[in-house]
Amino acid sequence: MSTNSEKWALIPSDPAVFEDMIQQYGIEEARVKEIFTLDLLDESKDNTDVHGLIFISGYVEETLPDDFEKPDPLASDIVFTAQLVTNVCATLALLAVLFNANINKGPILNRFLEYTKSFSPINRGMCLGYSQEIRSIHNAYASNANHIAEDAMDVSVEDGNANYEVVDAENYHYISYIYNNGYVWELDGLKNQPLRLKQCTHENWVAKVKPIIQERMQDRVDVSLLAITRNNYHTKLKQKNAYESYLRLSKEAIRKKLAKSTISRRKKAFFEMIYDADIQHHDKMKDIWTLLHNQDYTSAEAMTDSFAMEIDPFNRQSYNCRNEGDVKLCVARRAGALEGISAAECVLRKMNETIMLIIDTNPINVSKDTRVPVVSKDVGGLRDQSFQGTTEALIQRKPGCKNWFHTKCTTIKDPPTTLFVTNYHFECHNCNELNVEIFERTIAGWKDICTAALANLALEAILLQIGSDNKELLESKNEVLMEQWQPEQHYFNKKDLIPFVDKHWDSLCTERSRTPTWWATLGSCLYSAKDVFVARDESERSAASDFRLADANLWHIRPQSGGLTPRLSNKRKELSPEPNGSMTPTTPSPRSSSPAPLTPSTVPAVFPQGGSANTDHPFNRFGFKYSPCEPSILPLIAYRQAENSLGGCTISIPDKSSYVSVTKDGLTVTTDKGFRMCRANVGVKEGSWFWEARIQNAAGPASDGAHVRIGFARREACLNAPVGYDAYGYAYRDKTGDKMFCSRPEKYGEPFQSGDVIGLYISIPPKNKAKFQSALRRRIPIAYKERFWFEEKDYRPSKEMEALADPYRKEKEDDYEPKKLHGSFITVYKNGVNQGVMFTDLIDYEDFGRLPETIQAKRAKKKRKQSKKDHSGNAIKDDFDSVAQHWTDDPPVEDDGTLGYYPAVSVFKGGVVNCNFGPHFQYPPTDQKDWKPLSERYNEYMVEECVWDLVDEVSRSFRHKKN
**CA 864/CA 847 separation, integer angstroms:** 28
Decide: 405 and 394 in contact? Cβ < 8 Å. Answer: yes
728: left (phi over 0), alpha (psi -120 to 50) or beta: alpha
Measured between alpha carbons, how far is residue 631 from residues 628, 634, 641 in Å?
Answer: 11, 9, 9
Of 568, 358, 335, 577, nearest to 471 (Cα)? Answer: 335
Return the H-helix or E-strand segment holding 944: helix 934-962
**CA 260/CA 255 separation, integer angstroms:** 9
The alpha-helical segments, DSSP class H, found in 55-129 are 89-99, 106-116, 121-129
* Active-site residue (options: 51, 89, 321, 504): 89
* Active-site residue (options: 127, 147, 173, 234): 173
Across the beta sheet with 787-793, the strand order is: 639-641, 624-631, 787-793, 780-784
**CA 907/CA 566 separation, integer angstroms:** 11
**Residue type at 758?**
I
Three-class secondary structure of residue 127 per DSSP: helix
**CA 592/CA 460 separation, integer angstroms:** 68
Task: Please say whether the dihedral angle defined by the alpha carbons of residues 66, 68, 71 and 75, taken in this order, is positive or negative.
Answer: positive
Q: Is there a catalytic annotation at residue 89?
A: yes
**CA 867/CA 861 separation, integer angstroms:** 10
Half-sphere exposure of 114 (CA within 13 A, CB side): 7
**CA 824/CA 762 separation, integer angstroms:** 8
3-state secondary structure 289-305: HHHHHCCCHHHHHHHHH
Q: Is there a catalytic annotation at residue 200?
A: no
Decide: 104 and 26 in contact? Cβ < 8 Å. Answer: no
**Residue type at 663?**
T
> Phi and psi of 209, rounded to 5°?
-80, -25
**CA 543/CA 673 separation, integer angstroms:** 28
3-state secondary structure 852-901: HHHHHHHHHHHHHHHHHHCCCCCCCCCCCCCCCCCCCCCCCCCCCCCCCE
Measured between alpha carbons, how far is residue 276 from residues 283, 315, 350, 376 in Å?
Answer: 12, 11, 13, 17
Decide: 227 and 35 in contact? Cβ < 8 Å. Answer: yes
**CA 670/CA 677 separation, integer angstroms:** 9
Decide: 794 and 807 in contact? Cβ < 8 Å. Answer: no
818: left (phi over 0), alpha (psi -120 to 50) or beta: beta
Measured between alpha carbons, how far is residue 791 from residues 259, 435, 780, 796 in Å?
Answer: 73, 46, 5, 15
- What's CA 394's distance to the chain center, in Å? 23
Active site residues: 89, 173
